[in-house]
């Protein structure tokens, strides 16, 4: 059976950007900005993305396109007969765990999109406490979150079933431009609110005294999460890339698009937060508790809420599709499943674990693992251990195990790309020396915090 590939470089970049642009940008990045000091975090984040995360992204893409196979088999192809195959197993396992709780949040976005469609946030006057209570009551209930989780995961599986070109690439080509358009509209509306200037100052006027080792560690960790590095997604997608496409150019476009979207999302949220005198340090509750209150008070808030939760759902889907594809590619190529059967098998496994994650906010809230409910434990376990371990191992593999000439040939398309040739030496130095040290610092910081 002939292996599927992306039909165009634009389609490949849109799909890979869609993987990067997700809940990490629209949900996680704005609240991380609030928790870690505003513009100081933004500045450090941009430096970390282009200094360290971009070379790690290049490492995954080089290994993926060089091997032309799934995340598990890539290491067997590039290092036959070695124990590196277990890194491939890690990179198939990690996204499946991530998808199980990621789809729960996707289900929440479906519920809040339904509320926005019904204009629930503006149909009646809500206090902040009432809206907080609505969210808490929803996630701690049994059936509604599970239904949302099921529908979200089913839509993800259906798109992946359609294949690389007809499903993943087609969805990305349409939805990524739409997503940027929606978030820009919301940012424009947010900018017109009284007092919005304070929010922009918070985002873009750094207080350098707030740049601490903890902020640096958080920014680099957010970069891993946002760019989808360390768990086989970019490796898998790069294996579908055309041989003529430039990895360096593609990775820069992905990083720029991802960072730009995160900044636009913050411009859509933070000015509104300051306009209504709320705290930017609300943390993870910012999206589902603070913003609905803002929408309830804002002129044309019902329309803005509808646009926002459509954007949130699209962002969640573009990432969940890429996460699911890692496991599907493994089952199709290694176990010779049909794409439909592989999608259904991954759906079943992640759905079951996701149900347990959802119930951990309600009936299973007393079940604790190292003091955390299952949802929080899996989030920390994947972010602090699995993803960082994957990122560390991929840079060691590309920097120390693969032949330097092979890495150079893949990155420069056999020496035909002069710009990539000029970028190669500094990038290779970072992959070999700086990136491993930075990732180890992040791992230790996360484990000791």
- Cβ contact 239:67 at 8 Å: yes
Residue 182 has pLDDT above 80, yes or no: yes
Would residue 1 count as lying in a domain?
no
Which pLDDT score, from 0 to 100, does residue 111 have? Answer: 95
Would residue 2 count as lying in a domain?
no
Burial 116-127 (b: 16+ CB within 10 A, else e): beeebbbeeebe
Would residue 3 count as lying in a domain?
no
Residue whose pair of structure tokens reads 């890194």 in the numeric block: 87
- CA 311, CA 186: separation in Å to the nearest integer? 10
Which pLDDT score, from 0 to 100, does residue 298 have? Answer: 83
Provide the number of structural domains found in the chain.
1
Would residue 4 count as lying in a domain?
no
Residue 109, domain extent: 9-448
Residue 223 has pLDDT above 80, yes or no: yes
Average pLDDT over residues 29-49: 92
Residue 2 has pLDDT above 90, yes or no: no
Domain harbouring 199, CATH code: 1.20.1740.10
Which pLDDT score, from 0 to 100, does residue 320 have? Answer: 94
| pLDDT tens-digit map of 303-343 | 999 999 999 899 899 999 999 999 999 999 999 999 999 99
Which pLDDT score, from 0 to 100, does residue 1 have? Answer: 56
Average pLDDT over residues 197-224: 90
Question: Which residues, 6+ apart, have CB-to-CB distance to 287 below 8 Å?
Answer: 26, 27, 30, 31, 312
Which pLDDT score, from 0 to 100, does residue 165 have? Answer: 84
Which pLDDT score, from 0 to 100, does residue 125 have? Answer: 56
Grade residue 283 by pLDDT with cuts at 50, 70 and 90: low
Grade residue 351 by pLDDT with cuts at 50, 70 and 90: very high
- Cβ contact 404:105 at 8 Å: no
Which pLDDT score, from 0 to 100, does residue 98 have? Answer: 94
Would residue 40 count as lying in a domain?
yes
| pLDDT tens-digit map of 243-261 | 888 999 999 999 999 999 9
| pLDDT tens-digit map of 415-430 | 999 888 999 999 999 9
This prediction has a pTM of 0.93
Average pLDDT over residues 30-45: 92
Grade residue 19 by pLDDT with cuts at 50, 70 and 90: confident
Would residue 185 count as lying in a domain?
yes
Would residue 381 count as lying in a domain?
yes
Q: Please write down the long-range contacts of 215-218, taking CB distance under 8 Å and 24 or more positions apart.
A: 215/36, 215/37, 215/40, 215/41, 215/44, 216/44, 216/48, 217/441, 217/442, 217/445, 217/446, 218/32, 218/35, 218/36, 218/41
Would residue 279 count as lying in a domain?
yes
- 372 strand-pairing partners: 369
């Amino acid at each position: 059976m002939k292996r599927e590939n992306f039909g165009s470089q634009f389609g490949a970049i849109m799909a890979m950007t869609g993987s990067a642009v997700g809940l990490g940008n629209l949900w996680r990045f704005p609240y991380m900005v609030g928790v870690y000091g505003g513009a100081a975090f933004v500045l450090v984040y941009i430096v970390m993305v282009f200094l360290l995360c971009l070379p790690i992204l290049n490492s995954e893409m080089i290994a993926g396109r060089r091997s032309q196979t799934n995340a598990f088999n890539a290491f067997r192809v590039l290092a036959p007969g070695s124990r590196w195959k277990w890194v491939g197993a890690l990179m198939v396992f990690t996204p499946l765990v991530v998808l199980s709780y990621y789809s729960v949040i996707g289900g929440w976005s479906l519920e809040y999109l339904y509320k926005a469609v019904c204009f629930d946030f503006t149909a009646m006057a809500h206090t902040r406490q009432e809206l907080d209570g609505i969210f808490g009551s929803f996630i701690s209930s049994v059936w509604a979150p599970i239904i949302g989780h099921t529908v979200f995961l089913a839509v993800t599986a259906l798109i992946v079933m359609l294949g690389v070109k007809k499903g993943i690439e087609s969805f990305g080509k349409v939805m990524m431009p739409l997503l940027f358009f929606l978030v820009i509209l919301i940012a424009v509306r947010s900018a017109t609110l009284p007092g919005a200037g304070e929010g922009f100052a918070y985002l873009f006027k750094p207080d350098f005294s707030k740049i601490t080792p903890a902020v640096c560690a958080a920014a680099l960790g957010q970069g891993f999460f946002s760019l989808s590095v360390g768990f086989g997604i970019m490796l898998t997608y790069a294996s579908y890339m055309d041989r003529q496409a430039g990895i360096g150019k593609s990775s820069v476009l992905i990083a720029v698009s991802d960072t730009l979207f995160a900044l636009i999302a913050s411009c859509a949220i933070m000015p509104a937060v300051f306009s209504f005198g709320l705290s930017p340090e609300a943390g993870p509750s910012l999206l589902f508790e603070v913003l609905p209150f803002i929408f309830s008070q804002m002129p044309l808030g019902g329309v803005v809420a509808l646009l926002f939760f459509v954007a949130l759902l699209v962002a969640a889907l573009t990432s969940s599709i890429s996460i699911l594809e890692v496991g599907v590619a493994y089952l199709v190529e290694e176990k010779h499943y049909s794409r439909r059967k592989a999608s259904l098998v991954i759906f079943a496994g992640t759905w079951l674990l996701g149900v347990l994650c959802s119930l951990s906010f309600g009936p299973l809230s007393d079940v604790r693992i190292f003091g955390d409910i299952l949802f929080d434990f899996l989030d920390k376990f994947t972010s602090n251990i699995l993803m960082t371990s994957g990122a560390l191992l991929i840079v060691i593999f590309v920097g120390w195990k693969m032949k330097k000439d092979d890495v150079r040939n893949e990155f420069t398309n056999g020496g035909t790309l002069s710009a990539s040739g000029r970028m190669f030496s500094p990038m290779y130095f970072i992959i070999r020396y700086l990136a491993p040290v930075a990732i180890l610092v992040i791992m230790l910081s996360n484990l000791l915090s």
